[in-house]
Amino acid sequence: MKDLEDWAAVHRVYKQTKSKRATARILGISRNTVKKLLEKKESTEYHRTIYLSKIDTYKEQIIEWRCEPYEFNGTRIFRELKAKGYNGSIGPVYRFLKRVDEDIGDSISKKATVRHESPPGDQAQFDWTEYQVVVGNRYRTVYCFALILAASRKKAVCFSLREDADAIYEAVQDLFDELGGVTLELLIDNPKALVIENNPKSEDEIKYNPHALLMAANLGTELNACPCYWPRKKAR
């Protein structure tokens, strides 16, 4: 049965990519295996590559949703996957979509990758910057925390003299309160207070700070750490 599934997967992905190299890269198998399966009119026996990522069983569906006629964006694909039983985070989905976009970009409409793609209530972006200001006759570092709704670009800000974990968690909660609700997803950078490990070359789950996950769970949102090399992902 696995051989039949792999044979079918190769043929379906190749139909979209028109490239043996892209098909091999997306499915995580060798080009020789792709070539061998494409030459067969029906399934043949071979050693199946073992996948470890949670999204592997959904990759064909993701590719289908990304291309015409669906042209789903990343947030929509994640929601559809959750409905089908996917229990991972949104990070690996976006990582895989980046590979798909690179390999079969010609088959993807600009509708699927436009910057402002998030429906109202889907996503907010949290970030902060620092300023040097005079406080009590001396310069102090003041941190400006900001939360921006992806759909409307509405922004809320607050200030603190600290940028430790407690200050960050407090800022997130206060800013959501100021905006009057919580989005399904919170897009963040990779500060240690929120993210322990985020390997941009891997599709594995991002390791979030347990305290940050608890904060997100209490708020009713899901963290999504943005890969450092993919700045266009912010404020989609």
Is residue 9 domain-shared with residue 64, that is, in the same domain?
yes
182 belongs to a structural domain: yes
- What pLDDT does 116 receive? 41
Task: Give the range of the structural domain holding residue 165, as residue numbers without chain letter.
Answer: 123-233
Domain at 140, CATH number: 3.30.420.10
Q: What is the pLDDT of residue 20?
A: 83
Same domain, yes or no: 167 and 221: yes
Q: Do 10 and 54 lie in a common domain?
A: yes
Largest Cα–Cα separation, the chain: 80
pLDDT digits 0-9 by tens, 95-117: 788 778 777 665 555 445 444 45
Closest CA to 128 of 108, 150, 143: 143
12 shares its domain with 55: yes
* Three-class SS state of 179: helix
The reply to whether 221 and 172 lie within a common domain is: yes
Look at residue 1 in the predicted model and tell me its pLDDT: 34
Same structural domain, 104 and 136: no
**Which tens digit of pLDDT belongs to each residue from 33-68?**
888 888 776 654 444 444 456 777 888 888 888 877
CB 24 within 8 A of CB 33: yes
Same domain, 174 and 143: yes
Number of domains in the chain: 2
pLDDT on residue 80: 82
* Residue 72 belongs to some domain of the structure: yes
Of 112, 143, 166, the one marking the end of a domain is 112
Q: Is the peptide bond between 69 and the residue preceding it cis, with omega within 30 degrees of 0? A: yes
Domain boundary among 60, 78, 112: 112
Residue 118 lies in a domain: no
Where does a domain end: 89, 112, 135? 112
* pLDDT-flagged residues of the chain (< 50): 1-2, 44-51, 110-111, 113-116, 229-236
Same domain flag for 23 and 101: yes
Looking at the whole model, is its pTM more than 0.75?
Answer: no
